């Protein structure tokens, strides 16, 4: 598209032309409402003044109260009252909101030191480094572990931050079918000359990159089989636990605990604090040697301003509760409640005749809509009935497997979930989404 000057191409031109972007103009309708409260089990969104699909934030001033099924607030720590919120507020008074500079300059506070020690202890690793953003943890740290001459073997559904990190690294990348151990082994077999010592292999190193729980599928990686392959083929493992840390395992220690795998068998345990901990930022846990290498080389540690004090304090407080070190059973109660809520919600949706993806233990529950054209309507109809949800399509998923993605929380009551199920059932009938139903005819 040309505007004005002959031959002048707008800066965004290559990106806006693709037809799915135009589809997104319409789908934006679902999200284009600012939130005006804490994103807890319930939240308020602002009513729009016009039905404009662009980023138009003209509001009427009216708040729409919704039940929240869209936040990653797995353990219910996203709150503005109680001991964790009080401690974060106290941290602002003590340290302020700003950080002095990057971690390698003057930006390391005593809270970072305390937090890194706690993360390492929680996960059973020697050491840990924390970073101001989860996305940057993947995208800037993978490139300092492997590069030209290395091979990355990556699950096809890995998160965009992992994909970006792998691409930025300059390593060769091979992709295997999601959670398919046999496909992974075929790649590993081809990549190594079996029986040869590590130094004689065609690749300097081989790094396998996977997630614990997949955020669009609700699937849990087959970790024990992966560990066996990693050992057999002498590869390294980068495990992203953004959605599994806190949310999975009897004590919230994630996918290693869930599968009873020794954390020592995972080279890099990566995760984020935006989900189970109700805060912000990311971490990597591993051996002392490797974590020190990250501290001094990662762009997100070296060149980026460090994590803010109240953010760090919120993580310390919530992790202390999860570990039971606050002297209560609150952490265990939250973990059990989340597991119970997730199982109940998933089972009920299946009973109603919906197609639901993922593992029964996963707090992420994708409800399949398939047709991209229906996802905006699904979201809008739920919103009209007081339920706030997230719908996902291309490029987060293939366009033909568009879906609604519910995130359960320990803060949801049984009454909340029953209300949500009644709404989803009604909207599912309206849009012909249950497998026992025919799609309504167009005329």
Q: Which residues bind ligand PMP (CB under 6 A)?
A: 133-135, 138, 159, 161, 211, 215, 240, 242-243, 272, 274, 282
C-alpha torsion sign, points 109, 286, 223, 370: positive
Greatest Cα pair distance, the chain, in angstroms, is: 70
Of 147, 101, 92, 96, the residue nearest 301 (C-alpha): 101
Q: Which residue has the tokens 């075929």?
A: 186
CB of 243 to ligand PMP, least distance (A): 6
159 vs 403, beta carbon nearer ligand PMP: 159
215 vs 371, beta carbon nearer ligand PMP: 215
Are 278 and 318 contacting, i.e. CB atoms less than 8 angstroms apart?
yes
CB of 134 to ligand PMP, least distance (A): 3
CB of 415 to ligand PMP, least distance (A): 28
The span from the CA of 286 to the CA of 296, in Å, is: 15
CB of 312 to ligand PMP, least distance (A): 14
214 vs 378, beta carbon nearer ligand PMP: 214
279 vs 313, beta carbon nearer ligand PMP: 279
161 vs 397, beta carbon nearer ligand PMP: 161
Of 305, 264, 257, the residue nearest 125 (C-alpha): 264
Indicate the residue whose CB is closest to ligand PMP. Answer: 134
| Tokens linked to 310 | 């109240």
Q: Which residue has the tokens 């941290």?
A: 91
45 vs 142, beta carbon nearer ligand PMP: 142
What is the arrangement of strands in the sheet containing 390-392, beginning at the earlier edge strand? 364-370, 402-407, 390-392
30 vs 130, beta carbon nearer ligand PMP: 130
CB of 142 to ligand PMP, least distance (A): 12
CB of 215 to ligand PMP, least distance (A): 4
With vertex at residue 35, the alpha carbon angle to CA 25 and CA 84, rounded to the nearest 5 degrees, is 140
CB of 272 to ligand PMP, least distance (A): 4
């Amino acid at each position: 598209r040309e505007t004005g000057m002959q031959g002048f191409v707008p800066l965004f031109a290559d990106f806006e032309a693709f037809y799915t972007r135009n589809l997104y103009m319409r789908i934006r309708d679902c999200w284009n409402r600012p939130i005006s409260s804490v994103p807890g089990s319930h939240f308020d969104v602002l009513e729009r003044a016009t039905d404009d699909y662009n980023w138009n934030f003209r509001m009427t001033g009216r708040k729409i109260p919704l039940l929240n099924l869209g936040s990653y607030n797995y353990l219910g720590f996203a709150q503005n009252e109680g001991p964790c919120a009080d401690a974060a507020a106290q941290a602002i008074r003590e340290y302020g909101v700003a950080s002095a500079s990057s971690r390698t300059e003057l930006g390391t506070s005593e809270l970072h030191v305390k937090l890194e020690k706690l993360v390492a202890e929680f996960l059973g690793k020697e050491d840990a480094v924390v970073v101001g953003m989860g996305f940057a943890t993947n995208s800037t740290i993978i490139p300092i572990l492997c590069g030209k001459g290395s091979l990355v073997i990556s699950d096809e559904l890995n998160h965009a931050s992992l994909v970006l990190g792998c691409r930025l690294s300059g390593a060769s990348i091979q992709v295997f079918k999601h959670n398919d151990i046999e496909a992974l082994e075929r790649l590993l077999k081809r990549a190594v000359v079996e029986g040869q010592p590590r130094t004689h292999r065609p690749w300097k190193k081989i790094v396998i990159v996977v997630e614990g729980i997949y955020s669009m599928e609700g699937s849990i990686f087959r970790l024990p089989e992966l560990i066996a392959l990693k050992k057999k083929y002498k590869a390294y493992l980068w495990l992203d636990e953004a959605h599994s840390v806190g949310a999975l395992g009897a004590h919230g220690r994630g996918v290693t605990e869930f599968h009873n795998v020794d954390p020592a068998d995972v080279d890099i345990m990566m995760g984020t604090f935006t989900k189970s901990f109700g805060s912000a930022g990311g971490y990597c846990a591993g051996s002392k040697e490797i974590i020190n290498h990250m501290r001094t080389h990662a762009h997100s540690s070296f060149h980026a301003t460090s994590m803010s004090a109240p953010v760090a304090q919120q993580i310390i407080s919530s992790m202390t509760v999860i570990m039971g070190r606050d002297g209560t059973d609150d952490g265990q109660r939250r973990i059990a409640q989340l597991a119970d809520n997730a199982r109940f919600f998933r089972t009920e949706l299946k009973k109603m005749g919906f197609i639901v993806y993922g593992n029964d233990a996963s707090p992420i529950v994708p409800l399949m809509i398939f047709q991209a054209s229906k996802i905006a309507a699904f979201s809008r109809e739920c919103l009209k009935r007081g339920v706030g949800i997230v719908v996902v399509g291309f490029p987060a998923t293939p366009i033909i497997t568009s879906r609604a993605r519910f995130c359960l929380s320990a803060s949801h009551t049984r009454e909340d979930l029953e209300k949500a199920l009644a709404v989803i059932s009604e909207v599912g009938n309206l849009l012909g989404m249950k497998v026992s139903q025919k799609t309504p005819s167009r005329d």
